Amino acid sequence: MTAEKKLYIKTYGCQMNVYDSERMAEVMGGQGYGVTDDPAEADMILLNTCHIREKAAEKVYSELGRLKPLKAAKPGLKIGVAGCVAQAEGEEILARAPMVDLVVGPQSYHRLPAMERAVTGGAKAVDTDFPVEDKFEDMSRPRMRKGPTAFLTVQEGCDKFCSFCVVPYTRGAEISRPADRIIQEAAQLVAAGVREITLLGQNVNAYHGHAGGLAGLIRALAGIDGLDRIRFTTSHPNDMDDALIEAHGACDKLMPYLHLPVQSGSDRILKAMNRKHTAESYLRLIDRLRDARPDLALSGDFIVGFPGETEADFEDTLRLVEDVRYASAYSFKYSPRPGTPAAERDQLPEDVKTERLARLQTLLARQQAAAQDAMIGRTVGVLFEKRGRMERQVVGKSDHLMAVHAEGPDSLIGRIVPVEIVATAPHSLAGRCVGDA
C-alpha cells in the first residue's frame, strides 16, 4: 500500500483564510494527502497568505527563505503560495523565489489537484484567474471537522472599494453562494458534531444568495436541529438592513455579538476612505441594533493615521468610541497597500501614528475591561471547545464571544453549559459551572 502523502498548510490573516485552508486540505485529501503539523515531514507545503497589512509579501518571502533548507533536503517537496499575496504577486513570486512550484489565487483553490499533477510532471503552475466556475461546487468533499465550532464562507469579494483596501483587487467582486448549498454544508457540519457556525464574508451582510438576504439565510439555518449558535462576520454598516437588525432581536440562535467596522469617527476621513457612511449614521445604526438586542456586544475596526488625518479628526474617533462603548475592537496604524488610492497620498509621520494608536488602544482596553467586569456575577452559556492549560480546566466562548475558562471534565467539551462568571483576566473570564446542557 502506498504511504499517505503529507500536506502542511500555514495560514495567515483572517477567518476566511482559515476556512480556505480547511477546504484546500479537503481537496488535496482527495489526492491522497493527509494533514501534518510538521513541515519537515510534508510532501507539499502551502502558505495561505494575507495581503491586508504592510509588508505582507515580504513576510511570505522570509518564510520561503526559512523553508529553503527543507526543499534542498527533500527535492520532491512541493511548495506553493496561495491566497491574496499570490493573487497580487502572481508570476513575480516564481521570479523572486524559484523554489516555489505553484502559485494559486483565492478563487482557484479547486484547481489545486490539476496544479499538483503539473508540478509532479516537472512544470511550474500559476493560477490567479477569477474562474467562471464555482470553486465551492468543485470543492464538494465532506467537510473534515474536529471540534464544536466551524467557519462557513457564504460570500466573497467586495464592491465597496474603500481607498485603503486591496480586497476588491485580490478577492474580486461580491459573489454569494446559493442558500441551498450553504444549508447542506451546515447540516453536514452539525452531523459531524458542530454546534456553532460563523458565517464568513468580506462583506457578509451584502449576502444575496437567499431571497431574504443574510437575515433569511440565518433564519433558514436556525431550523437545523443541533445547530445552537450562529454568528457572522465581517459586516459593512451600509448593508445592515432592517431584516438583519430585526433578526438580532428575534432569532434566539443568532448570538448577541456583532463585529461592525467603522474605521474612523471623522466624517472627513470617512469620505477620504470612500466608506460612504458618516459617524452619525453609524451611531444611529448602533442605537437601532441595541434597541433590537439590548445586551448586544459590539466590536469594531479602526485605522489610525490615515493620510490627511488631523488631531481633530482623531479626537472625533475617540468621541465615537466613547459613545459606542465597545466590548472589543481591532485597531491598526494605516499602512499603504500598493495599488490602492490612499497609497498615493502624503503619509503621516510614523511617530504620530504610533502615538495616536497608543491613545486609542488605551481607551479600547479600558472599555473591554469594563465589559468583562460587567459579566462578574452573571450566568452565561459557554460552549466549551477544548482543554485548558490547567488540570481539569476547559475553555470556550460565551454567547458574547468572550473567552471563558472553568474547572470541569473533558466531557464538557462540545457542550453548552451555564457558567457563573467569578473573575476577569486580560482577554478572558473565569467561571464556575452551575449546570449542564
Q: Which residues are annotated as a binding site?
A: 14, 50, 84, 158, 162, 165
User: Which residues, 6 or more positions from 429, have their beta carbon under 8 angstroms from its beta carbon?
Assistant: 372, 375, 398, 402, 403, 404, 405, 421, 423
Model pLDDT for residues 361-400, shown as the tens digit of each residue:
999 999 999 999 999 999 999 999 999 988 889 999 999 9
pLDDT level of residue 161 (50, 70, 90 thresholds): very high
* 289-374 CATH pick, 3.30.750.200, 3.10.180.10, 2.130.10.30, 2.60.40.10: 3.30.750.200
Task: Lay out the sheet containing 78-83: strands in order across.
Answer: 33-35, 5-11, 44-49, 78-83, 102-104, 125-127
pLDDT at 53: 64
Domain boundaries, the chain: 5-127, 142-255, 289-374, 379-433
CATH number of 5-127: 3.40.50.12160
Going from the C-alpha of 389 to that of each of 393, 405, 406, 407, 421, the distances in angstroms are 7, 10, 11, 11, 19
pLDDT at 138: 55
pLDDT at 134: 57
What whole-number distance in Å separates Cα of residue 437 and Cα of residue 226? 12
Q: Which CATH fold topology does 142-255 show?
A: Transcription Regulator spoIIAA (3.30.750)
Q: Pick from 266, 322, 327: which is nearest to 299 by CA?
A: 327
pLDDT at 212: 97
Q: Which residues are annotated as a binding site for [4Fe-4S] cluster?
A: 14, 50, 84, 158, 162, 165
pLDDT level of residue 109 (50, 70, 90 thresholds): confident
Proportion of the chain above pLDDT 90, given as a percent = 75
Q: Do domains 142-255 and 289-374 have the same CATH topology?
A: yes
pLDDT at 135: 56
pLDDT level of residue 34 (50, 70, 90 thresholds): very high
Residue 142 in this model has a pLDDT that exceeds 60: no
Model pLDDT for residues 194-242, shown as the tens digit of each residue:
999 999 999 999 999 999 999 999 999 999 999 999 999 999 999 999 9
Model pLDDT for residues 247-283, shown as the tens digit of each residue:
999 999 999 999 999 999 999 999 999 999 999 999 9
pTM for the complete prediction? 0.83
User: Which residues, 6 or more positions from 74, have their beta carbon under 8 angstroms from its beta carbon?
Assistant: none
pLDDT at 57: 72
pLDDT at 136: 61
Q: Which residues pair with 300 in a beta bridge?
A: 329
The set of long-range contacts for 384-390, using a CB threshold of 8 Å and a minimum separation of 24, is 384/148, 384/408, 384/412, 384/413, 384/414, 384/415, 384/417, 385/147, 385/148, 385/149, 385/413, 385/414, 386/147, 386/413, 387/413
CATH number of 379-433: 2.40.50
